[in-house]
Amino acid sequence: MRTVELMIFDLDGTLVDSGTDLAASVNHALARLGLPGLPIERVISHVGDGVGKLIERSLGEKAASLKDRALELFLSHYETHLLDATVPYPGVPEVLEHFASVPKVILTNKTHRFSVSIIEGLGLAPYFEDIYGMDSHPWGKPDPRLLGVLLERHGARPEKTAVIGDGVNDVLLAKNGGAVSCALLNGLGDGAKLLALEPDYALGDIRELPGVLSPP
């Protein structure tokens, strides 16, 4: 059991199951460009490094010529459809309530305004001190400078800070910055890749967090 004084949560695949809406908006953009759609699993495999990379990977060899227009189409559609099917994972409110005394922030490679819209729309905003998106800082996960900024801003020590997420970038961020890494294996990320990084904790889902982390 680790005592923590700051908890840093990823968003997509960690707090919320957003794969269906992301895939729908990607496929909307592809359709408008006259391109075939992609299976939801394929789109989900492209998630984790920001919207630009999501669009590039979804376009494949067409990325060089179509990325800008595809990105425009995706953003326009996603802004009004980001809560069509997106819901919190089971147990999320209860776990956040369990750690009510611990400062919590969201750190995601998703665009900030979309992240805020989702968290507010799902009623989870009161649990978090701040929400940081891909466009909130000069660096994205897993750059350790990003962790350093958050630790200073929230007055926390790395060894007492937990990074909770379903992506490789979350585990690497924690390891690069000396924080506790908690990998969630039920999200959008590749479980085998997460386990290969040997996180401090590999959990079946977020409801296992109270079994490994403790408030001060």
Question: 137, 131, 105, 134: which is closest to 116 by C-alpha?
Answer: 131
Check 10, 12, 17, 166 and give the catalytic one.
Answer: 10
Cis peptide before 158 (omega within 30 of 0): no
Residue 80's SS3 state is helix
* Whole-angstrom distance, CA of residue 73 vs CA of residue 19: 18
Confidence (pLDDT) at 63: 85
Confidence (pLDDT) at 64: 86
Confidence (pLDDT) at 80: 96
Query: Could you tell me if residue 60 is left (phi over 0), alpha (psi between -120 and 50 degrees) or otherwise beta?
Result: left
Q: pTM score, two decimals? A: 0.94
Written as tens digits, the pLDDT of the chain (216 aa) is 899 999 999 999 999 999 999 999 999 999 999 999 999 999 999 998 889 999 999 999 888 899 999 999 999 999 999 999 999 999 999 999 999 999 999 999 899 999 999 999 999 999 999 999 988 888 889 999 999 999 999 999 999 999 999 999 999 999 999 999 999 999 999 999 999 999 999 999 999 999 999 998
CA distances from 215 to 96, 176, 185, 212 (A): 11, 23, 23, 11
| Known catalytic membership, residue 10 | yes
Confidence (pLDDT) at 28: 97
Tokens representing residue 131 in the block: 């929400």
* Whole-angstrom distance, CA of residue 53 vs CA of residue 67: 10
* Whole-angstrom distance, CA of residue 51 vs CA of residue 59: 12
Contact, 162 vs 213, CB < 8 A?
yes
Confidence (pLDDT) at 138: 86
Residue 12's SS3 state is strand
